[in-house]
Structure 1
Amino acid sequence: MTLSKAIERFKGYTSGIYSDATVKTYLKQLNLLLKVVGDKEVKELTFEDIMKFKNSLYEKGNTSSSVAVSISSVYRFFDFLQKVYKLHIIPKEDLKILRPKVSQKIPSYLDRTTIQNLVSACKDI
């Protein structure tokens, strides 16, 4: 089965399971993968193909968060291939390694003076 055919089947499989927005995101990322690696047989996909895809995303200026979404989409796709077609192409652990760490922002808090001013403003009402 070719990559494009597998993506179409994945679309049918995910519709109704995931939200329309999630399916749309998965398909967008998988079609980017298709453009990068070509319409080869899914059995011929390699870890190097996924690395090439990941590198192409960074070359286009994508952030770590965007790349993480793309790799997660690929992960779900390979999970589908394994569950439905019993195709063990790339181990899940290897795909997890490819997912970049996403930096988390430190939460910002109101300082004591600002809180006191807000409370005082409420008392004046």
Structure 2
Amino acid sequence: VRPSPGKGDGLYALAPIPANTFLFDYEGELLRSLDELFERYPDGRGPYIACVNGQMFIDGADPQLSGVARWMNHRRSDPTVVARKQRFGPSPAMHFYTARDINVGEELVFDYGDDYWEAMGILPLPE
């Protein structure tokens, strides 16, 4: 984790990583309903919220409960990482894999998706 120009802090590769490599899961507190989400964030805007299936969310705001995924920044074009959601079962999850070969020092970024930006009230959507 180190500064990312114009974005605060970001997550960077310390070694080369081949394409399609599992990196880590998005970790945090599991919110099992929209009601739980709105109890915590009355406006529905949690900056570290990952929507897994529309009714379940992972809140990575607490550094004690979250992992390194919370440091990944957004990039719509040419993301270095892709998210794969496990939407069913008792423990929904968001898994991250490399989208292509990653070089040492390259920032790990993924597309947060339109729903995230709309929920945060940020329009037009950032690149």
TM-score normalised by L of structure 1: 0.25
Structure showing greater Rg: 1
Greater percentage in helix: 1
Structure of greater relative contact order (alpha carbons < 8 Å, 6+ residues apart) = 2
TM-score normalised by L of structure 2: 0.25
